[in-house]
Amino acid sequence: MSTPLESWVEKNARLMKPERIVFCDGSEEENQRMFAEMVREGDTLELNPKTYPNCYLHRSNPNDVARTEQVTFICSEKREDAGPTNNWMAPEEAKQKMSALCDGAMRGRTMYVVPYIMGPARSPISKVGVEITDSAYVVASMRIMSRMGKVAMERLGSSAEFVPGLHALLDVNPERRFVMHFPEEKLIWSVGSGYGGNALLGKKCLALRIASVMAREQGWMAEHMLILGLEAPDGKVTYMAAAFPSACGKTNLAMMVSALEGQGYRVWTVGDDIAWMQIGADGYLRAINPEAGFFGVAPGTGKHTNPNVMDAIRKNSLFTNVALTPEREPWWEGIESAPPAGMIDWKGKTWDPAQGPAAHPNSRYTVPAQQAPSISPKWEDPAGVPISAFIFGGRRARMAPLVYESFDWQHGVFVGATMASETTAAATGAVGVVRRDPMAMLPFCGYNMADYFGHWLEMGKRIPHAPKIFHVNWFRRDTSGKFLWPGFGENVRVLKWILERVEGRGEAQETPIGYVPTKGGLTLDGLALAPGAVDDLLRVNAADWEPELADTRQFLEKFGERLPKELLEEHHKLAQRFQRSVPA
């Protein structure tokens, strides 16, 4: 009798017709075979073994360098269950399409079967997934990003309790690129892309889109959040989870070297991208990082912005689409070393600065989390870490003060549901375009976001010691367009205020949007801010909030009848507080 896993593999082998099937065990020997295979294929090379031992550089197809939201679908039975923010396709239609594309797709190729655990091997919060793929790069990446191979097979045994994921490269053609999710069946099916977010099915597909559906069904939370611990001078560590849209420095915050280390405040990394959280026996929301590695954006990462990650990536790391120096070391814009002569760009050609950056702007490092000097001693605790604060944030040039605390859980859910970020010049050319990205989950929620807001509201009623909810903005600018706040390691000053608020201390003033620190409430010693910068950072400007109120209302109305009434109620209350705050 075959196990459910074996039957599923056989069924898909009949469809994809590979030349051979390899069940991956996650061993070092297998890993070396994967890299040898990638080098043979011609798109991967070994980096300098003296300075970057066991590190490789992979160059992807230039048409395949980022997540493709336009071809990412939620295939629920009913269109309304995917909601207005997701692409939808009927499950039968999607399956027919994918079956036709996958018929014979692995002819002459190897089908790798990759069992993996998202989360620490012995945590009750963790889940098993199995990915079928024809990409050695995916196998090597999954080995860094999850607990892969034997350990996962041991957890799975002969049970059917795994999330199946099918992945085939096909001809890596954008015309035949789809990332499909079947939330009722908990199935993932992705073709035509080898890019991380589309092809490493444990990450965005399982740990966020499918897990968000499971979390709602089972009463827990799957969020696009980093997890960090802030250690205070008395040695006590307070854990916080934070959601930011991309390009807002999530990895840098999670791995920060604290500017207040001399005063005894230190930051520990538990995770940099995803948090799975369940209510623990102690009444706290307990979070695990389902991933085992960091898949971070390389450009902009340097000794000043993220020294911990720069340390971590010196061994056992896989780089994708970065540039290559003549010393066979990786290089990218923002690495804080001058570009050497004779650089090879991310496409494998001699770099011509007139033709654009040497590294692709979305080039990446993939590194085992345990190599980070800042990794928390609790990062693999099966029980998870207790979360005391949620932090939402985005890039807002004018609107949001440096930090504020919501009045209560329901108000905090409104703050998260209406959060937004402004596009940067680097990303689009159009500066300051506001994009609403509720809880940073817009591209990652596997069901109707109106129901997702409802789930958040429900969770607030169920968690005995619910986290306090905050909003931060590192990106406020002065009238000349200069950033008011230095960011990076100095952000610990804001985390310190959050910690004090969690403990019932921390000086704050009440404003229409929430509690904002008083000037004296923030620890600013040793920081040379421009005159008046603190006032500018903490100001709540009624005139700025008027258009914001109109825009958030329009955004919420998109969800129609399904939107929980509590969010409109919070919108109304916010408008009223502003009215009251303006003298007649």
**First-to-final CA distance of the chain:** 79
Is 248 a residue of the active site?
Answer: yes
Identify the residue among 30, 223, 231, 273 touching ligand OXD (CB under 6 A). Answer: 273
Q: How far is the CB of 419 from ligand OXD (least distance, A)?
A: 15
In terms of CB distance, is 173 or 246 closer to ligand OXD? 246
**Residue 208 to residue 222: CA distance in whole angstroms:** 6
Is there binding between residue 446 and ligand OXD (CB under 6 A)? no
The site for ligand OXD, by CB under 6 A, has a size of: 4
**Residue 570 to residue 574: CA distance in whole angstroms:** 6
> 10 Å Cβ neighbour count for 22?
16
Which of the residues 265 through 294 are near Mn ion (CB under 5 A)? 273
The entry of ligand OXD, Mn ion, none near residue 501 (CB within 5 to 8 angstroms by kind) is: none
Is there binding between residue 197 and ligand OXD (CB under 6 A)? yes
In terms of CB distance, is 138 or 502 closer to Mn ion? 138
Closest among 222, 241, 170 to 199, alpha carbons compared: 170
Q: How far is the CB of 295 from ligand OXD (least distance, A)?
A: 6
**Residue 88 to residue 73: CA distance in whole angstroms:** 5
> 10 Å Cβ neighbour count for 141?
28
Given the residues 75, 102, 205, 248, the one annotated as active site? 248
Q: How far is the CB of 330 from Mn ion (least distance, A)?
A: 21
**Residue 341 to residue 347: CA distance in whole angstroms:** 17
Which of the residues 85 through 104 are near ligand OXD (CB under 6 A)? none
How buried is residue 173: exposed, middle or buried, by Cβ count under 10 Å (0-12/13-18/19+)?
middle
What is the three-class DSSP state of 446?
A: coil
In terms of CB distance, is 87 or 246 closer to ligand OXD? 246
Residue 131: strand pairing partners: 114, 165
Q: ∠ CA 465-471-472 to the nearest 5 degrees?
A: 130
In terms of CB distance, is 273 or 500 closer to Mn ion? 273
The entry of ligand OXD, Mn ion, none near residue 59 (CB within 5 to 8 angstroms by kind) is: none
In terms of CB distance, is 291 or 500 closer to Mn ion? 291
The entry of ligand OXD, Mn ion, none near residue 490 (CB within 5 to 8 angstroms by kind) is: none
The entry of ligand OXD, Mn ion, none near residue 197 (CB within 5 to 8 angstroms by kind) is: ligand OXD
Is there binding between residue 384 and ligand OXD (CB under 6 A)? no
Is there binding between residue 246 and ligand OXD (CB under 6 A)? yes
The entry of ligand OXD, Mn ion, none near residue 395 (CB within 5 to 8 angstroms by kind) is: none
Q: ∠ CA 42-44-49 to the nearest 5 degrees?
A: 130
**DSSP-H helix ranges across 194-342:** 196-199, 211-218, 250-254, 307-312
Q: How far is the CB of 146 from ligand OXD (least distance, A)?
A: 15
* Furthest C-alpha separation in the chain: 79
The residue of the chain with the least Cβ separation from Mn ion equals 273
Q: How far is the CB of 439 from ligand OXD (least distance, A)?
A: 12
Residue with tokens 């070994």: 46
Q: How far is the CB of 120 from ligand OXD (least distance, A)?
A: 20
Helices 409-417, 449-462: crossing angle, 10 deg rounding: 160
Q: How far is the CB of 354 from Mn ion (least distance, A)?
A: 32
In terms of CB distance, is 18 or 293 closer to ligand OXD? 293
Which of the residues 40 through 69 are near ligand OXD (CB under 6 A)? 67
Is there binding between residue 329 and Mn ion (CB under 5 A)? no
In terms of CB distance, is 115 or 197 closer to ligand OXD? 197
Query: Which pair of structure tokens corresponds to residue 520?
Result: 């004296």
The entry of Mn ion, ligand OXD, none near residue 67 (CB within 5 to 8 angstroms by kind) is: ligand OXD
Q: What is the DSSP letter of 529?
A: P
H helix count then E strand count, the chain:
16, 29
**Residue 447 to residue 212: CA distance in whole angstroms:** 8
Q: How far is the CB of 364 from Mn ion (least distance, A)?
A: 11
**Residue 584 to residue 391: CA distance in whole angstroms:** 34
Catalytic residues: 248
- The footprint of Mn ion (CB under 5 A) covers 273
- The footprint of ligand OXD (CB under 6 A) covers 67, 197, 246, 273
